A and B are shown apart, each in its own frame.
Chain A
Amino acid sequence: MKLSEKFERGDSLLKIIVIYAVLIVACVISVYPILNIFTVSLRPTDSLFSTSLAIIPKNATFQNYIAAFQQYELPRWLLNSLLVSSMVAVFSVILSVTAGYAFSRFDFFGKKSGLTMLLITQMFPATMMLLPLYIMLIKLGLNNNYIGLIIVYVSTSIPFNIWLLKGYFDTIPKSLEESAYVDGASIFRSFYQIIIPLASPAIALAALFGFMGAWSEYIVARVLITDADKLTLPIGLVNMQGQFNTAWGIYSAAALVTAVPVMILFVSLSKYLVGGLTLGSVKG
């Protein structure tokens, strides 16, 4: 009796077991590589290269974490990346919230083609924007400058964010603003005071995507930033892993320090992900 309440009606015990088995295998495959970073990060230097598959290695130690912060410039890379990523998140949200609202609520000349243009930007290969911007930034003397990096990241993150937010605004009934107009509020006031608070989950998602995009980007950063002082996390980490033999454990510790904060952010916002993403695509 209780069983039938918790599971789908009419499922046999065997079926339930099979479903769980499949899901557990999938979970193991999905989590294992992340655990692998964790395992390697705990290995002492003398047993870095071991063929053991134990998740917590023998003589587990945090020395790799200490080394990552002391021998390498991990703190500086973290700060640099934090600065760039936060700026990207802020600008990306400001730009995409307003544009998403306009695309959702108003009719204006070029609305349809504007939305299509945004989709088309997703088809640009990485070099499409990077190459001309690189040459333009060299001409302006802005290479090795975060402004260039932030500009590139913001422009790559807003198309997706505008679509995401437009989709979310579409689900907020227009009657809410209309009653605010009747009460004498302006379009801008109702936007700030009614729509923005209601859309906060989607805005949080957009900020997250902006932040994560910048936090995790390697290909553009590698070209634009070459100054040792200005390296961001991705370039620092990849360079570190280049010296595979010596620094594998330290690299893993640093990778975990990098990945865990964004993973926590992502997971805590993931419940909004289901609604937000589909609504965007359904209405599209």
Chain B
Amino acid sequence: MQACTRKPKRKRARSSNLQQTRWTPMWFIIPSAIVMALVVLYPLLYEISLSFRNVTLMNIKSKVYPWVGFANYKDILTDGLFYSTLLRTIIWTAVNVTFHVTFGVFLALLLNRKLPGKALIRVLLILPWAVPQYIVALTWKGMFNVEYGAVNIIITKFFGASAAIPWLTDPKWSFIAAIITNIWLGVPFMMMIALGGLQSIPQELYEAANVDGATSWQKIKSITLPLLKPVMTPAIVLGIVWTFNQVNVIYIITSGAASESSQILVTQVYKKAFEYFRYGYSAAFSVIIFLILMLFSTVFIKAQKLED
């Protein structure tokens, strides 16, 4: 695909000497447009069509999937499990993103000061971002082991042997273990975004505030945070969407999302699709999750715009 779109590009460059025509942008946009259309747009439409059909392991090879209308959607939305999982997903997302942003901005504020050795500290702080997510999840899972995991060893050193927490066997605790892991994982991204934002704030503003005798808290509150907001808002939307859709951490820490009471919506769909082979049902479920996120982002961004 690359080869065939690139060749005409060169030829054209030689023949029409440089002036940008109406079609110039197309040569740049077409390669990725074709790929996106083939592997995103088409599957998306196919997915929507599947969501109205009955597709299971039984008939997947037959290539004929009977039309069932809204039956899949009705199944999902009349199931109480959907609502309890949705609630858990919202808690999961809210807790994670709150911690990501708070810790991220806080650390960025510290790193944005004059501080010998901060280059090294910054490298150490972004390491969690650099480790492959599944290794992070597996490693934390090892650290949450009841007897030999570092987390319980440290807890029992301080609070005695009875304080050991059954992280991986009790669904409630394994959900908390997953949250801790994911917080660890997500802070560096927010920190880097905030750091970039902080560096783009003009220094004169702080100098002017110094002349007026502002305290450092006043400076943070009325210069730093408001100016950081336009940078953080898109990152927060992205963070919320990514966290809402985070499969790796929960799936691995809760051992293949074994218990219903430590799952979020995406892990539930993933399990329904690839362990219970309910493809049509899962397609409808994916569409519902997508619509929830779309609705949220639209409302969130509109609200932000209104505020400004």
Interface of A toward B, CB cutoff 8 Å? 6-8, 11, 19-20, 22-23, 26-27, 29-34, 36-37, 40, 49-51, 53, 91, 94-96, 98-99, 101-103, 105-108, 114, 117, 120-133, 135-136, 138-139, 151-152, 154-155, 158, 162, 181, 184-189, 191, 212, 215-219, 222-223, 234, 237-238, 241, 244, 248, 251-252, 255, 258-259, 262-263, 266-267, 270, 273-275, 277-279, 281-282, 284
Contacts and interface: CB of A to CB of B under 8 A. Distances in A.
Interface stretch (B75-83, B94-102, B170-178, B290-298): B290-298
Nearest to B283: A131
Nearest to B23: A108
B20 A7 contact: no
B291 to A, nearest CB: 9
Given A275-B196, A277-B193, A127 B50 contact: no
Interface of B: 2, 9-10, 12-14, 16-18, 20, 24-29, 31-33, 35-36, 39-40, 43-44, 46-47, 50, 55, 60-61, 63, 103, 107, 110-111, 113-116, 121-136, 138-143, 147-148, 150, 153-154, 184, 187-188, 192-193, 195-197, 199-200, 230-231, 234-235, 238, 241-242, 245, 247-248, 251-252, 265-266, 269-270, 273-274, 279, 282-283, 285-287, 289-290, 293-294, 297
Contacts of B252: 218, 238
A220 B183 CA distance: 23
Contacts of B136: 33
A259 B136 CA distance: 10
Contacts of B125: 23, 26-27, 30
Contacts of A131: 47, 50, 273, 279, 282-283, 286
B283 A22 contact: no
A132 B283 contact: yes
A279 B200 CA distance: 9
Nearest to B287: A128
B134 A277 contact: no
